[in-house]
Amino acid sequence: MSVRVRIAPSPTGNLHIGTARTAVFNYLFARHLDGKFILRIEDTDLERSRPEYTDNILNGLGWLGLNWDEGPFYQSQRMHLYQAAVQKLLDQGLAYRCYTTAEELDALREAQKARNEAPRYDNRHRNLTPEQIAAFESEGRSSVIRFQIDDDREIVWNDLVRGRMSWRGSDLGGDMVIARASADGIGQPLYNFVVVVDDIDMQITHVIRGEDHIANTAKQILLYEAMGAKTPEFAHTPLILNQEGRKLSKRDGVTSISDFQKMGFTAEGLVNYMTLLGWSAPDSTQEIFTLTEAAKEFSFERVNKAGAKFDWDKLDWINSQYIHNMPVDQLTDLLIPVWEEAGYSLTNGRERAWLEQLVSLIAASLTRLVDAVPMTRVFFTDGVELSEEGSQQLQQEGAKAVLQGIIATLENEPQLSADSAQAMIKQVVKEQKVKKGLVMRSLRAALTGDVHGPDLIQSWLLLNQIGLDKQRLNQVT
């Protein structure tokens, strides 16, 4: 059987970077072995699931380039499969109706707490007689469905990341609830049960997920066996940690893929970085690679057991490498919506050809796409705001005189070019007998408001094309 893996996010929130990293590992493993990558939406939590979260998940995975081969499948549309599977376990005597009330469960937990015991269900309704069942139902009690767990059973599997794993049945908290309470029939089946039914139905061969699911795995292996299915192989990947070594959460700020997108990270840069969160390439010096390149090298032998600390500096560096090496037309496509979001007008001479020249000017200085907003503000506004250094430069002795000289020469220059701009600067230097640095710094301050920035001549040419250079020179003189 060919490899079949799945990513199964819950639409109770936006696509989290932890879920996305799990999707990356599933995708790489499937592509490495020419298998299938399946998308399943686990939306059985009807109270918390939202269609906008589903859209966010689908859009996020698509944006990252994690294209699925089958799906999306929605658990909410598969309830008949789960209820039939529950009924089959009931018929086989492997599951039973439990009528224990919430108050009785609370009392049980309090008694266990008083004895310093771990909380667990005591399986009190596992072997009810027909008379006892009738008595409970006559009281109007509803029943959950519990799956029987043998306390003496040892559950063992070979984890592809962590090696041999072993759990005792007695450590699993007693017989497991697999369906919610219902006065009659079968209530809503629960997570640990439905994922097994889905994995069997979808012929999943490998379950790749975060280490926080390890305890679920022991329970699910028992369910695979009870339903007569082959147990898939498991790989429990390390969690993503913050700088303090705790699991990355909303308290750490940005955690959803759509937030990273808004912060100006490229899809290629972000997915490259996520690949390195817990995995390393055979060539430890290689840190930049596409999904296709990573898939050729991916294996669980190089996935770490320890948690992966999130490093913003490294993410920024990787992202900058993609931006710096991106073709101008592609980078322009990415920056146009960024400029539009900032309210910049892309008309009045600021059309495609001009924008591509601007992108060529600033690309090497970008770390994130949103850096283009403050970096190019001077090209999208009529006026110019002087920095403290820019203001000081224009107050230098001779500054206004050299700018007036530039204005005078511009009058005789119908179309500015790089060569003619350089010639003007040389002419003013010669005529006014000043240093070239004074002319260059004063010209930059007048045109951009600062004494630092991208190439001066190219900036001047861009401003000249939209008629802002003369306007600004006249303003400061």
- Residue 311: both structure tokens together: 């490093």
Closest CA to 37 of 5, 9, 66, 60: 5
Q: Which residues pair with 235 in a beta bridge?
A: 208
Q: Which residues pair with 154 in a beta bridge?
A: 168
Residue 256 CB partners (closer than 8 Å, separation 6+): 13, 14, 15, 16, 17, 56, 60
In angstroms, the CA 254 to CA 21 distance is: 15
Active site residues: 250
Residue 70 CB partners (closer than 8 Å, separation 6+): 36, 37, 38, 39, 202
* DSSP label of 8: -
Phi, psi of 374 (to 5 degrees): -70, -30
Could you tell me where the beta strands, DSSP code E, fall in 211-261?
233-237, 240-241
Closest CA to 361 of 454, 441, 447: 454
Rg (CA), the chain: 32
- Residue 212: both structure tokens together: 């926080």
Greatest Cα pair distance in the chain: 112
Could you tell me where the beta strands, DSSP code E, fall in 91-221?
95-98, 143-147, 154-159, 163-168, 176-182, 206-210
The answer to whether the CB of 53 falls within 8 A of the CB of 13 is: yes
The amino acid at residue 312 is W
Residue 322 CB partners (closer than 8 Å, separation 6+): 266, 268, 269, 272, 288
Other residues' Cβ atoms within 10 Å of the Cβ of residue 460: 22
Helix (H) or strand (E) holding 73: strand 70-74
